[in-house]
Amino acid sequence: MATPTTIVWYRRDLRTDDHGALIAAAERGRVVPVFVLDPDEGGDWPMGGATKWWLHHSLEALAKDLGKLGSGLVLRRGEPASELRAVADAVGADAVYFTESIEPGELAVDEEIEHALGKGGLETERFAPNLIWAVGSVMTKSGDPYQVFSPFWRAGLATGEPDEPVSAPKKLEGPTKPPESLDLDELGLLPEIDWAKGMRERWNPGERGAMGSLAAFIRDRIDAYHEDRDRLDIPGWSAMSPHIHFGEISVRRIWHAIAKHPNWKKHKGREHYLREVGWREFAQHLLNHFPHTPDRPLRENFKRFPWSDDDAAFNAWKRGRTGYPVVDAAMRNLWAEGWMPNRARMIVASFLCKDLLIPWQRGAQWFWDTLVDADLGSNTLGWQWTAGCGADAAPYFRIFNPISQGEKFDPKGDYVRRWVPELAGLDAHVIHKPWEATPMELAAAGVTLGETYPKRIVDHAEARDRALKAFDTIKG
């Protein structure tokens, strides 16, 4: 009897560890891992430039890992069902295993592709997505989705911890004759103009990079995570989000690595970090329950909000030229590394939505193109939270002061000095408000406002009053 051959269709699950489809396929017989770049994937939210860069390097790492196990990665470009059928014909595969999508739009595609493959005589099986709790398993007593995080988190914990992760197969049996595969460069994921130098220096995409980053975080930073996670000037964060987004590590693996501490619920650093993993989970559940939210506010009254769309102000925000040092530092950090700490994201989002009254959707689109961890659920929840129009939203009167936020979370100004070097010579007491520096201080630091560094594009106190008046118009 011939050995069964299974295609493992890879998407945003680019790992070998705790990969249900890969493990089941390896137990069944021969394994043919396949990645298909679908030009139409994402619909209204196709991959941005930063995520394409990450995907290229993650696929490169995955191909090496699979090759060491015995079955390399086949790369194709086109309509997934057609490409998977072609590979199946070439290798004599009778089944396609894959990880189920998280996003609602992609779930519909899953069903279409599964139907198309089944009509072609291929057995298909879907495996659980990279979540702690299945969508729909954490609901209120009335059966409605939670719209506030804390009760969602408590209800999730009450359902029990996720299962233990399962290690990668020790060996894969590949096809007798490998099918045709594109070279990685033929997928066209890298930018034509090389703007990714900062990302290359900052990141190590792939499963090994994910495992190494998690181990270093637990070893060096998790004990102080609850105190340092909001700091901009020291690396108190885990920076695991892009690895999680691309499925280079499973959330079950992260959960059990953190929660193996016997008293993790009383360990402030570990408890805070797992809550952050839970926040990502909350975002994915919300996206599935309210699939319109990437483009439209969850709270209906916000459809009447009097936004003041200003292209010049928006472009100054994107370039890090607002005249507010912590905002500008964060936006330049984003452009250079494809990432910024969560506190920085809240600061720049509040500035865009509330100081400038520019629609949150424009900020979400910019983040989508520039973040290496651009995740539709988390991006949507974060922007709607800041704007005040989504689930668990910040109160409308919570308007971040970019000066006090900088002083609190970058107290010596080191984050600003790194990303806004034209202000590096200013002392800490004025680096977050250079317009208050004396002429002597500015001259000594080589700063000329309006020339070497821009003047403020808006006065925060006046902008705050304007925002509060705008929010008053949609009350009730």
Sequential DSSP letters for 167-183: PPPS--B--SSPPP---
CA dihedral angle for residue 11, residue 298, residue 364, residue 467, rounded to 10 degrees: -170
109: pLDDT confidence band, cut at 50, 70 and 90? confident
476: pLDDT confidence band, cut at 50, 70 and 90? low
pLDDT digits (tens, 9 = 90+) for 127-169: 999 999 999 999 999 999 999 999 999 999 999 889 999 999 9
Q: Is the pLDDT of residue 2 over 90?
A: no
Mean pLDDT to the nearest integer, 28-45:
92
Give me the domains of the chain, ranges plus CATH numbers.
5-129 (3.40.50.620), 130-162+205-289 (1.25.40.80), 300-472 (1.10.579.10)
Mean pLDDT to the nearest integer, 256-275:
92
Q: Is the pLDDT of residue 43 over 90?
A: no
Q: Is the pLDDT of residue 397 over 80?
A: no
* Helix 360-370 and helix 342-350, axial crossing angle in degrees, nearest 10: 140
Mean pLDDT to the nearest integer, 66-92:
97
Q: What are the φ/ψ torsions at residue 158 (nearest 5 degrees)?
A: -65, -25
394: pLDDT confidence band, cut at 50, 70 and 90? low
1: pLDDT confidence band, cut at 50, 70 and 90? low
CA distance 196 to 202: 10
pLDDT digits (tens, 9 = 90+) for 279-327: 999 999 999 999 999 999 999 889 999 999 899 999 999 999 999 999 9
190: pLDDT confidence band, cut at 50, 70 and 90? very high
Catalytic residue numbers read: 276, 279, 307, 342, 360, 383
Instruction: Characterize the bridge pairing of strands 95-99 and 30-37.
Output: unpaired
pTM of structure:
0.96
